[in-house]
Amino acid sequence: MIEILLFAQLQEEAGTDNITMDLSNVTVKKLKEQLQNTYGFQQIKESMIAVNESYALDDDIIKAGDTVAIIPPVSGG
Amino acid sequence: MIEILLFAQLQEEAGTDNITMDLSNVTVKKLKEQLQNTYGFQQIKESMIAVNESYALDDDIIKAGDTVAIIPPVSGG
Amino acid sequence: MEQKLFEIVEEPIAIELIIKKVEDRNAGAITTFIGTVRELTAEKRTIYLEYQAYKPMAEKMLAKIGEEIIQKWEGTKVAITHRIGSLDILEVAVVIAVSSPHRKAAYQANEYAIERIKQIVPIWKKEQWDDGEAWIGDQLENVRYPNAKPDIKDETND
Amino acid sequence: MEQKLFEIVEEPIAIELIIKKVEDRNAGAITTFIGTVRELTAEKRTIYLEYQAYKPMAEKMLAKIGEEIIQKWEGTKVAITHRIGSLDILEVAVVIAVSSPHRKAAYQANEYAIERIKQIVPIWKKEQWDDGEAWIGDQLENVRYPNAKPDIKDETND
C-alpha cells in the first residue's frame, strides 16, 4: 500500500489531498502509469514524483512506507 | 569673489569647509589651476568641480554668485 | 533564539526580521528580493492569490537552494521565507535575503535563489481573476523543470 | 504625506519605509540593496566609519540616478536613502529599493543604482581603523569618474 499526496490542480481533480494505491516495490515510472490509468489525471506526464520529500527519477523504486507525492509544475515565488 | 565649498580630505587639509577666492568669470580649468597654486591641495587634479550643484567641465565659466564646490573622488554606498 | 533560515509561513512576513537573519560583521552588502502580488498580468486582473505548499518538502528545497548558494558564492548567508494561503494585491509572498562581503555576489546569489524557487520548490499559486480561477504551472514558460535533472539526481543520492 | 524618494539622512534608516515608497499594485518584484558597515576590508579592521555629504548636490545626484533608471527600465520605481555621520559595524549606510513588474529589471536597475552612487554622488567615507584613519576615494579602483563625462555634460546642459 502506498499513500500518495496530491496538491493544487490534482487535489481539486481528485477531490482529496491523498489517495492510496495497492502497490509496493514499483518504479516511479510504473507508478505514474498506474496513476494515469486509474485516475486519468491531466497533469501526470508533466509532473514529478517526490519520494520521502525528494524528487525521484523514473527508475527509482518505491517501497512500502515511503511518503510519495505528485508534484505538478511549481509556481511559487 | 567666489566662495568654494570643501569636503572630506580637502576640508581637513584646509582646516575649513569653505574658502573665498578673488575671481570671477573664470573657467573651471583656470579655477583649478589657481586652487592648485594658492593652496596646493593634493587632490585637485583628481577632483571634479561642481557649479550650482552640478558637475562642470573644464571650459565652463564660473560667474560671481555661483555656488562652487571641489568634489574629490566619492566613496559613498 | 533558534531561527529558521528557510521557512514556509501562513502569516504576513516581517521583512526586517528576514534581513536580520543574514546580518554579518564581514558582509558589506545585503540584497533582498520581495515578491508581491501584482494586480495585472498580461491583460488579466487578479483579485487575490492562493498559495499552497507541500510544506516539509518546500522547506527542504529552500534549504537546498541555500546550500547551493553557499557553495557557489563563498562567504554568503541566505534566508528565505515564503508565505502560503490567501494573499491580496500588494501583499508579500516571498522574501529572499542574501548577505555577502561583496555586492556582486549578493545580487547574483539572490537572483539565482528566485530562479531556483520557480524550478524546484513545491509551492503552487492559484490565481483568482475577475472572470475565473486557475492553478498556475510552469510559469517559467519552459519545458518541465529545466536543467533540474542533475540536481534531482543529486537529491535522490543524499 | 510628502515623501522624499531620494534622501540624505543623519538618523538610522528604517528599511521597510524605503520599501513602502516603491510599492506598486503592478509591481511583482521589489529588490533592495542594503549597504552595511563591514568590519574587515582586506586585512584592515574598521572600528567605525564616518560619512560626509555635500547634501543638496548628493540628493540631486540620487534623483538623477532615479531618472536614469526610469528611462532605462520602464515601469520601475526607485527610492534611495543614504545615511551620513558616524556609523558602527553592522549599521546601514544606504538602502536602494526598486520595484518593477518584472524581476530581471528590478535586479538590474538596483545594481545600476549602487554603481552610479559610487561614481557621481558626492558622499565621502572616512575609515577609522584600529591603527589610523583615512578618507577613502576612488573605491572603484578605476580612473576618475569612469564613463561619467557624457552624463556630466548632460548635467551642465540641464
What is the domain extent for residue B64? 2-71
| Residue C146 pLDDT greater than 70, yes or no | no
3-state secondary structure of D26: coil
Kindly state whether residue B11 falls inside one of the protein's structural domains. Answer: yes
pLDDT tens, D70-88?
A: 999 999 999 999 999 999 9
CB A74 within 8 A of CB A8: no
Kindly state whether residue A31 falls inside one of the protein's structural domains. Answer: yes
Measuring CA to CA, how many Å separate D25 from each of B41, C46, C51, C95, D73? 52, 10, 18, 17, 17
Higher pLDDT, C138 or D9: D9
Residue reference for cell 591641495:
B41
ipTM of the complex: 0.91
Q: How large is the average pLDDT for residues C71-87?
A: 98
Model-level pTM?
Answer: 0.91
Query: Residues 6 or more apart from A9 whose CB is under 8 A from it?
Result: A42, A43, A72, C124, C135, C137
- The CATH number for B30's domain is 3.10.20.30
Kindly state whether residue B59 falls inside one of the protein's structural domains. Answer: yes
Query: Residues 6 or more apart from A27 whose CB is under 8 A from it?
Result: A58, A59, A60, A61, A62
H or E stretch at C17? helix C15-22
Kindly state whether residue B77 falls inside one of the protein's structural domains. Answer: no
Asked if C56 reaches chain A (Cβ–Cβ under 8 Å), the answer is yes
pLDDT value at position D83?
Answer: 98
pLDDT value at position D1?
Answer: 54
Mutation test of the interface with chain B: which of D145, D149, D154, D157, choosing the one with the most B Cβ atoms within 10 A?
D145
Kindly state whether residue B15 falls inside one of the protein's structural domains. Answer: yes
pLDDT value at position C1?
Answer: 54
Q: How large is the average pLDDT for residues A44-63?
A: 96
C-alpha cell recorded at residue D18? 524605503
Residue of C15, C16, C25 with shortest CB distance to D90: C25
C-alpha cell recorded at residue C56? 516539509
Kindly state whether residue A76 falls inside one of the protein's structural domains. Answer: no
pLDDT tens, D87-131?
A: 999 999 999 999 999 999 999 999 999 999 999 999 999 999 988
Number of independent structural domains in chain A: 1
Question: Chains B vs A: touching, with 3+ CB pairs under 8 Å?
Answer: no
Residue of D121, D126, D156 with shortest CB distance to B74: D121
Question: Is D117–B54 a contact, with Cβ atoms under 8 angstroms apart?
Answer: no
Q: How large is the average pLDDT for residues B1-28?
A: 95
Asked if C9 reaches chain A (Cβ–Cβ under 8 Å), the answer is no
pLDDT value at position D6?
Answer: 98
Per-chain mean pLDDT for chain A: 95
Query: Residues 6 or more apart from C151 whose CB is under 8 A from it?
Result: C64, C68, C120
Residue of C26, C103, C111 with shortest CB distance to D114: C103
The residue of chain C with its CA nearest to that of A46 is: C144
| Residue D152 pLDDT greater than 50, yes or no | no
Which sequence spans correspond to the domains of chain D? 6-140
Question: Is C145–A57 a contact, with Cβ atoms under 8 angstroms apart?
Answer: no
pLDDT value at position C42?
Answer: 75
| Residue B44 pLDDT greater than 70, yes or no | yes
User: Which pLDDT band holds residue C139 (cuts at 50, 70, 90)?
Assistant: low
Asked if B59 reaches chain D (Cβ–Cβ under 8 Å), the answer is no
Kindly state whether residue B19 falls inside one of the protein's structural domains. Answer: yes
Question: Chains D vs B: touching, with 3+ CB pairs under 8 Å?
Answer: yes
C-alpha cell recorded at residue C21? 537573519
Contacts of B54 in chain D (CB under 8 A): 57, 60, 152, 155-156, 158
3-state secondary structure of D36: strand
Kindly state whether residue B76 falls inside one of the protein's structural domains. Answer: no
| Residue C138 pLDDT greater than 80, yes or no | no
User: Which pLDDT band holds residue D145 (cuts at 50, 70, 90)?
Assistant: very low
Question: Is A77–C35 a contact, with Cβ atoms under 8 angstroms apart?
Answer: yes
The torsion angles phi and psi of D95, rounded to 5 degrees, stand at: -130, 125
Specify the range with the lowest mean pLDDT, choosing from B18-22, C5-9, C109-113.
B18-22
Contacts of D117 in chain B (CB under 8 A): 76-77
Residue of C54, C123, C126 with shortest CB distance to A5: C54
| Residue D143 pLDDT greater than 70, yes or no | no
Rounded distance between C-alpha atoms, residue D117 and residue A67, angstroms: 52
User: Which pLDDT band holds residue C89 (cuts at 50, 70, 90)?
Assistant: very high
Rounded distance between C-alpha atoms, residue D156 and residue D153, angstroms: 5
CATH number for the domain formed by residue range(s) D6-140: 3.90.1170.40
Specify the range with the lowest mean pLDDT, choosing from A60-74, D34-48, D109-123.
D34-48
Percent of the residues in chain C that have a pLDDT greater than 70, as a whole number: 85
Specify the range with the lowest mean pLDDT, choosing from B19-28, C64-73, D43-52, D144-153.
D144-153
pLDDT value at position D28?
Answer: 94
pLDDT value at position A42?
Answer: 82
- D27 pairs with which residues across the strands? none
pLDDT tens, C10-47?
A: 999 999 999 999 999 999 999 999 999 999 877 889 99
